[in-house]
A and B are shown apart, each in its own frame.
Chain A
Amino acid sequence: MEAVKYNLLSKLNENVLSIIEDNSIVSIIDVYGRIEYVNTLFCDTLEYTESELLGETLDLLKSPIHIEALYKNLWKTIKAGHKWTGILATKKSNGKPITLDTIIVPMKKDNTLMYVIVSKDVTRLHAEKVRLKESDYRSNVFLENMPMHVFSITKYGKILNTNKSYCNQEKENLIDTYIYDHIGSNSYDIFKKNVDEVFKNKISKQFEFFDFDEDGRKLFFSSIISPVFTDFGGLTSATVCIHDITNYKGISKEERDREAKYRLIYKSINVGIIVVADDKGKIREWNKGAKLAFGYSESEILGRPLTILTSLSYRESNITAFVKAVKKIKNNINSDIIELQCVRKNGEEFPVEFALSSIRVNKKTSYCAMMHDISKRKSLQNKLKQKTKDLEQFLYRSAHDLKAPFASAQGLLNLLKEEKNKEKAQVLIDMLSETIDSGRVLSNNLSEASMVLAKNYEYKTIDFNDIVNDVLKTLSNATNFECIDFKISIDDHKVFTSKPKLMHSIFQNLIHNAIKYSNKQTDAHTPCIDITVKTKIDDVSIIVRDNGKGINLKCIDKIFDLYYRSNNENTPGNGIGLYIVKNIVDGLDGSISVSSELNIGTCFEIHLPNY
Chain B
Amino acid sequence: MRYVVAKDSREVVDLLMEDKANLLLAGGTDVLVRMRLDERYPDRIIDIKKIPGVAEITEESGGFRIGAAVSGAQMGEHSQLKALWPGVVEAVELIGSTQVQGRATMAGNLCNGSPAADSVPAMLAAQAVARVEGPEGVSDQPVLALLDAPGQTKLGKAEFITSIFLPARPNLAGDAYLRFIPRTEMDIAVASAGVSLVLDEAGIVIEASVALGAVAPTAVMVSGAAQALIGTRLEAAPLQACAAACAAACSPIDDKRGTIEFRTKVAGVMACRAAITAYQRAGGQP
Q: Do A and B bind each other?
A: no
